[in-house]
């Protein structure tokens, strides 16, 4: 079974693209969701996050105070490193467990920071979804209700798109000039052929 990493900078449309792969029957692992799950379910992580970012990191009902953590980590690269070091090993484990349950020719691992985290090294191939910065920022602001500065701060914590395109094997252009669904269909056929080769 091939493991295909799928990434793109903030607002590029990688989740949108992942959902099209999922509609085609391809199992998709969402690293962002996995991160949120382990951060609220794994007692070792909860303790580490509380120790590092304070008790305000969780609400009384145990849910994650995303705003509190985001405010700390997206304004301070060292704080983000600390959070990554706590969360990423658990996400890697979650993915490894999930993969063993799949019985298909290829799966997708969607991760915002596939290249930054080194996760792409454990994938057979990688896909990047690209879009110009202005459009990505506009989409993020509209989706998340955050300010332009907050969206820029998150983007600045990610490797620039032009560096990632050098590492990726496949591209999906999501800049409103090309239709996305035909690109995903074409890539799906290539990946099926690759998996059966």
Ligand X SMILES: Nc1ncnc2c1ncn2[C@@H]1O[C@H](COP(=O)(O)OP(=O)(O)OP(=O)(O)O)[C@@H](O)[C@H]1O
**Residues contributing to the annotated binding site for ATP:** 11-16
Q: Does 174 bind ligand X (CB under 6 A)?
A: yes
Q: Pick the stretch among 10-18, 37-45, 90-98, 120-128 that binds ligand X (CB under 6 A).
A: 10-18
Number of residues that this document lists for the chain: 197
Q: Does 69 bind ligand COD (CB under 6 A)?
A: yes
Minimum CB–partner distance for residue 144 and ligand X (Å): 7
Q: Does 35 bind ligand COD (CB under 6 A)?
A: yes
Q: Which residues within the stretch 66-105 sit at the binding site for ligand X (CB under 6 A)?
A: none
When CB distances are held under 5 to 8 angstroms depending on the partner's kind, the choice from ligand COD, ligand X, none that residue 168 binds is: none
Q: Does 70 bind ligand COD (CB under 6 A)?
A: yes
The helix (H) or strand (E) run that includes residue 166 is helix 161-167
From the list 4, 5, 6, 10, which residue makes contact with ligand X (rule: CB under 6 A)? 10
- The DSSP code for 111 is -
Instruction: Round to whole Å and give the CA distance between 128 and 91.
Output: 20
Q: Does 12 bind ligand X (CB under 6 A)?
A: yes
Q: Which residues within the stretch 134-193 sit at the binding site for ligand COD (CB under 6 A)?
A: 154, 157-158
Q: In what order do the strands lie in the sheet with 125-130?
A: 28-30, 106-110, 2-7, 125-130, 170-173
- The DSSP code for 172 is E
- Residue 61 sits at the vertex; the CA angle it makes with 58 and 63, to the nearest 5 degrees, is 45
Instruction: Round to whole Å and give the CA distance between 91 and 76.
Output: 22
When CB distances are held under 5 to 8 angstroms depending on the partner's kind, the choice from ligand COD, ligand X, none that residue 180 binds is: ligand X
Instruction: Round to whole Å and give the CA distance between 149 and 154.
Output: 9
Interacting residues with ligand X (CB under 6 A): 8, 10-16, 112, 139-140, 143, 174, 180
């Amino acid at each position: 079974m091939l493991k295909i990493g799928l990434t793109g900078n903030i607002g590029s449309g990688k989740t949108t693209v992942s959902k099209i792969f999922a509609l085609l029957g391809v199992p998709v692992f969402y690293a962002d969701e996995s991160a949120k799950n382990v951060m609220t379910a794994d007692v070792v992580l909860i303790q580490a996050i509380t120790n590092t970012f304070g008790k305000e990191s969780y609400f009384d009902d145990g849910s994650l105070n995303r705003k509190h953590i985001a405010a700390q980590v997206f304004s301070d690269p060292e704080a983000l490193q600390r959070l990554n070091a706590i969360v990423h090993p658990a996400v890697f484990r979650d993915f490894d467990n999930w993969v063993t349950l799949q019985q298909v020719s290829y799966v997708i691992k969607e991760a915002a920071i596939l290249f930054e985290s080194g996760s792409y090294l454990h994938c057979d191939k990688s896909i990047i979804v690209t879009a110009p910065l202005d459009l990505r920022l506009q989409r993020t602001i509209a989706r998340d209700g955050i300010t332009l500065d907050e969206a820029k701060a998150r983007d600045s914590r990610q490797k620039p798109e032009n560096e990632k395109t050098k590492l990726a094997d496949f591209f999906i252009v999501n800049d409103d000039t090309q239709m996305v669904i035909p690109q995903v269909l074409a890539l799906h056929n290539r990946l099926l052929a690759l998996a059966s080769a």
